[in-house]
Structure 1
């Protein structure tokens, strides 16, 4: 059974499709809200789980491309629109809990964290792949997200790179290119304030004693669990297993 649920984000229609207790988003709606000039190209290049569904429209039945939750995060990470973060918050804090209130899921909306939602998406995908006889292909993907979901606190960028299964220098380069961190001339890496405010990065200040007995204050950028989740989508950890 397919159920179309229309949502409004800043006066933009975002259609969510409930089919067989699974949640899908109309891909074109999401890409347009996130400011992609060529939505079809963005969907083709960045989304891994595109599917097609026949949905009712005022003009009759229409076939539309839909994407699962994990592809929402991929499009958000690559969007250059300033409102991309607000859209993510809206999806996680409003859309998904609203859908789950209908009884399609056996969870209380107030008990769902972002990591819960991410794991639910992966669990759903695992079941689909199992039915298609592809469990061997999916297992490392699920393990990668499970590792992130059970992470506590924060970690340095080098250790984050290990969890993301990418080279540390590649992660540093990506973080700098995408305005997560920057380096002062002759100094250490610094996190952009908006990344700290969004809870993706944090600074840890420690005091180190020099050999001469004097002390030096060292500031280190650290990646939070929320930051790891976003980076996992950006680097396609699910594909790297």
Structure 2
């Protein structure tokens, strides 16, 4: 690699070297950092398919750094969460690369593109933006797909008159029956300790989300009462949405 070029993009120094054929290679860590990746090594491993180690002279010393070609820059741009990623892409496509290929180095403002080249670069930028937006849409659709079955369940039980045991509700939304009680105690929906352990706080009973069923039983000839909480149709809809919002359904799925 020869002809080290160093230019700044919004406060980030981007080092570029060229190979024997004059093709530019960008220092991968510089690009990843400029695009907002906090773990640049991980970003390079995941997204850069053509990264390779190359000697790069910097601050008077030669160091072996990972460099990437143009196509890997687009992979990093597409997956970047920064709004300035598109500006970085435009800078690379419209400014840096044409100058390097025309002059053998980056000389800002010296490139004079033909109409055909301008159109070609515009198409490259447009396609990259389309790819990025498509990926964002796919991510949103995947999240909706995860949540849809549980949200649909909540809609179906909204008008139900008869409540169900909490353990049965837990199975329906994909949570282990034992986990539901711990989760609701953590959310301060069920009480902890004493003879009211695992029973709803009064405010949730008053709202009509839960009911408590009393069942008599005998022990040593003495009749006692067991209390079992059930969740109403209204409560199932409310609790499903609350658990979704809090991330419990994904984190604690059985």
TM-score range, shorter chain: 0.3 to 0.5
User: Greater Rg, structure 1 or structure 2?
Assistant: 2
By relative contact order (CA 8 Å, sep 6+), the higher-ranking structure is 1
Calculate the TM-score normalised by the size of structure 2: 0.44
Higher-strand-fraction structure: 1
